Structure 1
């Protein structure tokens, strides 16, 4: 009985010391670069730098972290392990949201793209929903979502697409087209949301 008690105490002491050591390491991390260097010493797929966005991530954990200050550490204990989350950076980033239909000119003839474009524009004017048209025509993998891009941070899509997404002359629920000669790509785009500033954080996750 005494041996078991001693063993239990030793295990608890070792665990406490390990967690204290990790927290001391986390206290020294103030930049993403430092976080990435720390991850090089802790090889595990569970350890990583995460990005949480107040529009995309609605879990209790994400909400709690988004509402804490830079430098804060949140520790979550389960039966199997202890996970530490440290908020490294917090920023307000411009985001946009569109729905689009994409055509790859490298696999589809230009004349066919023109025909499809005309069919799509006419169908939309006749009252056909854009998401139904995207599901039918788009060559992008988001066709199943009706072409919805979700909220995207600036730099997520080709420059030509984003220039039009941020163009205030393009009103909501209006269609415009973008052609990118360099990649032989063609987009039919519906502006679905106004430009929005969204809170975003980068978090270092370390699992004991």
Structure 2
């Protein structure tokens, strides 16, 4: 009886080991985002998603390790409650931009008053006032709380009529200018706070091995 139990336990553990190897092997066949879609269609019980790691936005040790992984490589982190793999599907260097702004709402103020305020802001900044303080004083949205800082963004993150003057305007750090988007009542004073930077990004499949 004991011998039969030992044989059964051995066969069970062996089947788990093979299943784990099969799961890891199935990850090796994933090379593109289309492959990811096909993988999840075939494995409906598997939990996972594609996430983006950005060297400026993600400063953890794990993010640093993942950003240093080569294209197509995979690894798992032992401190996770379940064995969770991270596989690099794409690696890119993406142009990013950083600005601060003061937002003014033409639904609440006249265009005449907005232009007066914008001229005052630009004049004060050129006199030496900190833009963060001017944004906290004048901006009419939640960005006032962070001194107008919008953080790093890339093409497609913000309203296109806001992005175009920033991305295509041949501006440098310290340049200050205005942007008008009348169809959404939005008028801005914009300060370039960083020069354009190529930032490393990795698109990574995060997938948890099913429990056996």
TM-score, scaled to structure 2: 0.81
Cα distance between partner residues in 1 of 2:119 and 2:157:
28
1:50 alignment counterpart: 51
1:184 alignment counterpart: 185
Count the aligned residue pairs: 208
1:22 alignment counterpart: 23
2:121 alignment counterpart: 120
Deviations 1:150-169 (CA, angstroms, capped at 9, x unpaired)? 22122222333323223465
Structure 1 residue 6: deviation in Å? 7.6
Deviations 1:77-104 (CA, angstroms, capped at 9, x unpaired)? 2362111000000111111111112223
TM-score, scaled to structure 1: 0.83
Cα distance between partner residues in 2 of 1:117 and 1:45:
53
Q: Which runs of 5+ in 1 are unaligned?
A: none
The change in CA–CA distance for 1:79 and 1:120 in structure 2 (over 3 A counts) is closer
Cα distance between partner residues in 1 of 2:145 and 2:42:
41
2:130 alignment counterpart: 129
User: Could you tell me whether the CA contact under 8 Å between 2:40 and 2:46 is conserved in 1?
Assistant: no
Stretch moving more, 159-168 or 147-156: 159-168
Q: Which runs of 5+ in 2 are unaligned?
A: none
Structure 1 residue 126: deviation in Å? 3.1
Q: Which has the larger radius of gyration?
A: 2
Matched, 1:102 2:103: yes
Tell me how large the CA RMSD over aligned residues is: 2.9
1:197-208 pair list within 5 angstroms: 197-208=198-209
2:152 alignment counterpart: 151
1:35 alignment counterpart: 36
1:82 alignment counterpart: 83
Cα distance between partner residues in 1 of 2:43 and 2:153:
31
1:49-68 pair list within 5 angstroms: 49-68=50-69
The change in CA–CA distance for 1:188 and 1:7 in structure 2 (over 3 A counts) is farther
Cα distance between partner residues in 2 of 1:39 and 1:134:
46
Stretch moving more, 181-190 or 6-15: 6-15
The change in CA–CA distance for 1:71 and 1:179 in structure 2 (over 3 A counts) is same
Cα distance between partner residues in 1 of 2:165 and 2:121:
19
